[in-house]
Amino acid sequence: MHFITEQRLDDGVLEREFTLGEIPGTLWTPASAAPAPLILMAHNNGLPRTADRLVARARYCAAQGYAVATIDAPGCGERPRSAADEQVRADLRRAMQAGEPVDEIFESLVGPLVENAVPEWRTTLDALLALPEIGGPVGYSGWTAVGIRLAVAEPRIAAAGFFAGGYVPRAQREEARHVTVPLLFLLQWDDEGNPRQRALDLFDAFGTGEKTLHANPGGHTGTPWLEAEDGIRFFGRHLT
Amino acid sequence: MHFITEQRLDDGVLEREFTLGEIPGTLWTPASAAPAPLILMAHNNGLPRTADRLVARARYCAAQGYAVATIDAPGCGERPRSAADEQVRADLRRAMQAGEPVDEIFESLVGPLVENAVPEWRTTLDALLALPEIGGPVGYSGWTAVGIRLAVAEPRIAAAGFFAGGYVPRAQREEARHVTVPLLFLLQWDDEGNPRQRALDLFDAFGTGEKTLHANPGGHTGTPWLEAEDGIRFFGRHLT
């Protein structure tokens, strides 16, 4: 893990960009000298890790005492897209504009993104836990499909907050019943591109006995800030 | 308002039973000398105000700095039931055991309970706000049907937490769109006697732009304690 930039923020949080092989990422660590619990903050594929609202959330979590890390997974953010990927995205835009069904296109787009992202998240997790300033336990926050896969495959994940907005491939919907860690599931009630019923069905399917759904009115990007605060309390119950 | 019992709890909360005309109630006030914001804690009709889990929640809220008041509304708790009321409840039990539709019976039971409860809650509110130890603003917590009626009719209610379990008469489902105060709506995902979809439809119908749904797995009485803590934070945002 090579740190390539470093910035000390006003509240003492250290923000560093890193590379790990081909993986570009950002790590925020709190001012405290003690090893911090870690939150893997995985954004949906459409957003770069440098997007303002993700950075704001990560800095807030770090200021609350968590190490927070994010990466651009393959085909996401600043990573190159394959010609096949570009083609699927073009197909998707065309189908959406035409009002045609998009599930199969989403499957062929998001399915491989998830498959490719998870091994890189696990590699990143190995490297992060080797840093002296990071102790664990480990939480996960964000992209639902990757989070399901990771929560099932990776025993080091102790709690997870999933954002319901975003296509969840059939494989991960099927896998949801094997998620057994405490879960906070965040739904934007009027999310334009994500059917509400599908999100409610997914909440129903999660296998864990300790799961809470939080729903707020508004569209995909309208999550109120109070949910960032609730997220911190959720991780506070399970990671500290 | 006549106080008939008085008990100082370990954390300094003062618990007093009162009568206000025919209305029996309990008031919890925090140790602090400053006038406290008030939470009206209205339980569903099946429970007396002395039920353990209601008292535990009220004491907790008072220990957090709120005055909390509850009453047994007409036909509820220790109040006498009319012969007509007893008949409707017998009809309800019979229909439930026979697996017959119960909506119309619930309408004839809960509709009048709500109509009779709301004026008494407003009378109680007048008396409470005349006490020097209570300042306001005023929040409401509990029984959804009474809460909808009260939030619409009573401009002194500044924020409300509703518990989704319990029959909501058609009149109040219709009125939900006129609720404009910030709202926390608490749903038990597997509530045996209350259809989930009806609760989700009601959440959708509330007119306020500031509403949050919290759902947890488990039956009617299984609400996890963390929701009491979340409730306090909700009222902290809107009543202090």
> How confident is the prediction for chain A on average, in pLDDT?
95
User: If you average pLDDT over residues A31-46, what whole number do you get?
Assistant: 89
Question: Which residue, among A180, A201, A212, would best test binding to B if mutated, counting the most B CBs under 10 Å from its CB?
Answer: A212
What 3-state class would DSSP assign to B106?
A: helix
Q: What is the pLDDT of residue B48?
A: 86
* CB atoms A217 and B211 under 8 Å: yes
User: Does A147 have pLDDT greater than 90?
Assistant: yes
CA distance A108 to chain B (A): 32
Question: Which residue, among B177, B189, B197, B212, would best test binding to A if mutated, counting the most A CBs under 10 Å from its CB?
Answer: B212
Give the pLDDT band of residue A193 (cuts 50, 70, 90): confident
Residues of B in contact with A161 (CB under 8 A): none
Q: What is the pLDDT of residue A38?
A: 98
Cβ distance B37 to B235 under 8 Å? yes
User: Does A45 have pLDDT greater than 80?
Assistant: no
Q: What is the pLDDT of residue B33?
A: 80
Q: How far apart are CA A136 and CA A157, in angstroms?
A: 9
Choice among A2-11, A77-86, A102-111, B138-147 with the minimum mean pLDDT: A77-86
Q: How far apart are CA A60 and CA A184, in angstroms?
A: 18
Q: What is the pLDDT of residue B45?
A: 72
| Residue A163 burial (C-beta neighbours within 10 Å; 0-12, 13-18, 19+) | buried
Q: What is the percent of chain A with per-residue pLDDT over 90, rounded to a whole number?
A: 89
Question: Which of the residues in chain B have pLDDT under 50?
Answer: none
CA distance B209 to chain A (A): 7
Cross-chain CB nearest to A217 (options B189, B209, B215): B209
Concatenate the DSSP letters of all residues of B171-203 into one string.
HHHHHGGG--S-EEEEEETT-TTS-HHHHHHHH
Q: What is the pLDDT of residue B214?
A: 98
- Whole-model pTM: value is 0.95
What are the pLDDT digits (tens) for B115-130? 999 999 999 999 999 9
A82 versus B119: the higher-pLDDT residue is B119
Give the pLDDT band of residue A48 (cuts 50, 70, 90): confident
User: If you average pLDDT over residues A125-131, what whole number do you get?
Assistant: 97
Q: What is the pLDDT of residue B176?
A: 98
Question: Which residue, among B185, B196, B213, would best test binding to A if mutated, counting the most A CBs under 10 Å from its CB?
Answer: B213
Q: What is the pLDDT of residue A160?
A: 98
Cross-chain CB nearest to A212 (options B203, B204, B215): B215
User: Does A46 have pLDDT greater than 80?
Assistant: no
What are the pLDDT digits (tens) for A173-186? 999 999 999 999 99
